[in-house]
Amino acid sequence: MSKPKRIIIVGGVGGGATVAAQIRRQDHHSEILLFDRGSHIAFSNCGLPYYLGNITDRNELLTNTDDFSKKYHVSVQINTEVTFIDRTKKQIHYEKSRETYIQSYDKLILSPGATAVIPELKGLNMDNTFTLHTIPDMDAIHTFIEKEQPQRVAIVGAGFIGLEMVENFRAIGLDCTLINRSDHILKIVDHDFHTILTTHLYEKGVDLELNDGLAAFSNDGKTIHLQSGKTIQTDFTLLAVGIKPLTVLAETAGIQLGETGALAVNAYMQTNDPDIYALGDVVETADFLTETPRHIALAWPAHRQAFIIASHLQGDKLPYDGTMGSAILKLFDLTIGATGHTSKDLNTLEIPYQEAFLSGYSHAGYYPGSVPLHIKILFSKTTGQLYGAQVVGFKGADKRLAVLTTAIKGQLTVHDLAALELAYAPPYSQPKDPINIIGYKAVAKLTN
Ligand SMILES: Cc1cc2nc3c(=O)[nH]c(=O)nc-3n(C[C@H](O)[C@H](O)[C@H](O)COP(=O)(O)OP(=O)(O)OC[C@H]3O[C@@H](n4cnc5c(N)ncnc54)[C@H](O)[C@@H]3O)c2cc1C
């Protein structure tokens, strides 16, 4: 057991609250102090879109701060911003109700996350233009909808948040226009899926403005001018054009950034100051397969990194073995998932690869409810080792993604996919599962 110490955590939620709880599970003696500049330290960011679509109860998203504090014996200060790190004195400065205070630490853990990007555009009116990153963001959109009873919304950005919000805005009857700078919807999957995704969006009544970027707003934010010269009328706009890691606090203290612009950490999540750890959306980590730097802002890495830090504080040298970027998303009736590298990633990294595509079915065609399922895999031309996988389908896509994710983690090859003995009964699969079939297809493409 390590010596008791004072551990300060900057930021709650995904990384911060998780690392606090994880440390307490392993260490009953150290003092843990958690500061968050917001008013909630434990909520599910991932659930925010579903509250706006009237699917989730607001309270279900939140954990009461006092309950958290008591349960894990953590001193929590909300509405408190950490403004400065004095590494020489091992102190942080923080502001609460306009007063500045100082607190010393033995170990400091940074989990400030990221912030939604708001492009500088002429005519932007923040009374009817929103981003979605926090509970206050969610409440602001909800209040606007309740008060203004809008009919139309423009969603800018066809990434995770943009697409989840399109679904949830349609669920409450809003007319949606999805605007995206390129025609590539959801970059975690390759362009091969374009027609499947756009067809589904059109079927669900979503207007698409692809290959066109925002140029400006006018008419109090209700007219959007696109770069093509086209205009769109809207009652309000959701900007979902990306996030930026909140690195300023660390940078000012001399903590080094990595190549992606997020904080650089070693395999134990230590920054260049061994007494300062960082995790979550603010860090870059090595890619699981290529060890190249990657900035992946997802919940799984934050939770795993929390465990790595808590273990390291106890003296366990358990390394974080890199991020694969496994991600999944529901878009109306479709499930879209991906893991590992896309073709764009592999081209950028100049890694030669081969690919296989399968348009199959979720389960035996004669059993009711069999629906299309599409899988793409990317693999080494010679050894057949898997580099990436993408799955899009109406049923059973999450199961296939889980298998492919495990296969990449286990460094399996396409030969292994063909040979996997996956359970079969007509309601679930076929004697040769789509994973087996794509494995056979891929083996046939290997060069000796
Ligand atoms: C709408 C939405 C949906 C998402 N859906 C999914 C999903 O389905 N699946 C998935 O894997 N991931 C999803 N994510 C991403 C996931 O939520 C994040 O990757 C995860 O929360 C990262 O945790 P974090 O601790 O780095 O950042 P956060 O959870 O954002 O926490 C950072 C906290 O730090 C606080 N803070 C910042 N600076 C300071 C400071 N100087 N002093 C004090 N406090 C500070 C902030 O107030 C904030 O509460 C979603 C994110 C959003 C916004």
Query: What's the pLDDT at 448?
Result: 65
Q: Is the dihedral of CA 343, 344, 345, 348 positive or negative?
A: positive
Query: What's the pLDDT at 3?
Result: 81
Test site for ligand 1: of 10, 18, 45, 304, most ligand atoms within 8 A of the Cβ: 45
Reported as a pLDDT band with limits 50, 70 and 90, residue 5 is very high
Task: Give mean pLDDT, residues 354-381.
Answer: 97
Nearest-atom index, ligand 1, CA of 280 = 26
Reported as a pLDDT band with limits 50, 70 and 90, residue 1 is low
Write out pLDDT tens, residues 264-301: 999 999 999 999 999 999 999 999 999 999 999 999 99
CB atoms within 10 A of CB 140: 16
Query: What's the pLDDT at 61?
Result: 87
Decide if 99 contacts 115 (C-beta within 8 A): no
**Ligand 1 — pocket residues by CB below 6 A?**
10-16, 35-38, 45-46, 48-49, 81-82, 111-113, 132-133, 161, 246, 249, 280-282, 297-300, 302
If we measure between CA atoms, which residue out of 51, 70, 68, 71 comes closest to residue 59? 51
Strand partners, 95: 81, 100
Q: E strand or H helix at 110, and its extent?
A: strand 107-110
The Cα–Cα gap between 246 and 265 comes to 15
Task: Give mean pLDDT, residues 128-138.
Answer: 95
If we measure between CA atoms, which residue out of 346, 351, 354, 343 comes closest to residue 447? 354
Nearest-atom index, ligand 1, CA of 282 = 26
Query: Is the pLDDT score of 136 beyond 80?
Result: yes
Structure tokens at 163: 């697409």
For residue 374, report the distance from its CA to the centre of ligand 1, in Å: 31
Query: Is the pLDDT score of 443 beyond 80?
Result: yes
Query: What's the pLDDT at 59?
Result: 85
- Pairing outcome for strands 236-239 and 107-110: unpaired
Query: Is the pLDDT score of 2 beyond 80?
Result: no
- Distances 425 to 39, 362, 418, 433 between C-alpha atoms, Å: 49, 12, 18, 10
For residue 56, report the distance from its CA to the centre of ligand 1, in Å: 19
Write out pLDDT tens, residues 72-105: 999 999 999 999 999 999 999 999 999 999 999 9
Query: Is the pLDDT score of 352 beyond 80?
Result: yes
Query: Is the pLDDT score of 55 beyond 90?
Result: no
Decide if 336 contacts 392 (C-beta within 8 A): yes
Percent of the chain, pLDDT > 70?
A: 100
Angle between helices 299-313 and 13-26 (to 10 degrees): 30
